[in-house]
């Protein structure tokens, strides 16, 4: 199926129509934030599921803000602090976000790894346009003709956001290299300092091998007509690679 059949253009970028029908986008635009709200923001395939596992262990549950179930979950009635997740760009945030200025955890990942993970994900998710060859998908990815638009625009927009004291920027790669330190810094930012033993338990629970066994994290309960994990697992390798003059090193999360 084509982009016109599967996607809606919202504020200049593609969003999957199945997950973002008109009523959910209207709810999103009219949503009222609170100053103590916490928002996980990622470009797709940049550690979203990982953060959705980590932050609830620090705080509590994390619903998606703009997807179709949000407007029936009575989010406005939830006690503070509320937590949400979104893939939207900075300039796509609703009016109340800029007035209230809730806290944001923004996760970045190397675009090479985002591309690879996205290529496999597009091949197994029925609500996304099939990627074609890697070369074809690379052109779409670089031109921002994929869901949630350009990785470059997404990262640039949030990095240049105002009120940076309300935003914690953290990379997928530094979380891999030292998860306990990352959890400690996130907890401090969220004003939820944790004992060392608790940090140790959170880090252990959120290593890749344990998340891959967790049915809530590996999405194995999602029907195969929506995500065909015979084509590609939702949680694959969690790999990152970096190059320097002398070596090529890959680490796995």
Which residues are catalytic, by number?
Answer: 87
Question: Please, where are the H alpha helices in the chain?
Answer: 3-6, 22-30, 48-58, 95-100, 111-124, 134-143, 151-159, 172-177, 179-189, 196-205, 208-213, 215-218
DSSP 227: B
Which H, E and C letters describe 72-124, residue by residue?
HCCHHHCCCCCEEEECCCHHHCCHHHHHHCCEEEEEECCHHHHHHHHHHHHHH
């Amino acid at each position: 199926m084509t982009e016109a059949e599967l996607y809606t253009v919202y504020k200049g970028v593609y969003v999957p129509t199945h997950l973002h029908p008109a009523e959910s986008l209207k709810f999103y635009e009219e949503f009222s934030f609170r100053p103590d709200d916490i928002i996980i923001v990622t470009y797709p395939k940049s550690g979203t599921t990982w953060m959705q596992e980590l932050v609830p262990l620090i705080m509590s549950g994390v619903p998606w803000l703009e997807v179709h179930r949000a407007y029936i979950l009575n989010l406005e009635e939830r006690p503070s602090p509320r937590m949400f997740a979104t893939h939207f760009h900075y300039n796509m945030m609703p009016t109340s976000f800029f007035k209230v200025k809730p806290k944001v955890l923004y996760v970045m990942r190397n675009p090479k790894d985002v591309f690879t993970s996205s290529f496999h994900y597009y091949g197994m998710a029925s609500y996304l346009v099939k990627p074609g060859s890697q070369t074809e998908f690379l052109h779409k990815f670089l031109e921002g003709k994929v869901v949630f638009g350009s990785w470059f625009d997404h990262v640039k927009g949030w990095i240049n956001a105002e009120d940076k004291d309300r935003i914690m920027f953290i990379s997928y790669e530094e979380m891999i290299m030292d998860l306990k330190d990352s959890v400690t810094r996130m907890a401090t930012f969220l004003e939820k300092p944790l004992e060392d033993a608790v940090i140790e338990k959170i880090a252990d629970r959120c290593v890749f091998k344990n998340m891959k066994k967790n049915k809530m994290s590996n999405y194995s309960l999602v029907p195969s007509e929506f995500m065909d994990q015979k084509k590609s697992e939702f949680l694959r390798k969690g790999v990152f690679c970096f190059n320097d003059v002398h070596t090529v090193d890959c680490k796995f999360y």
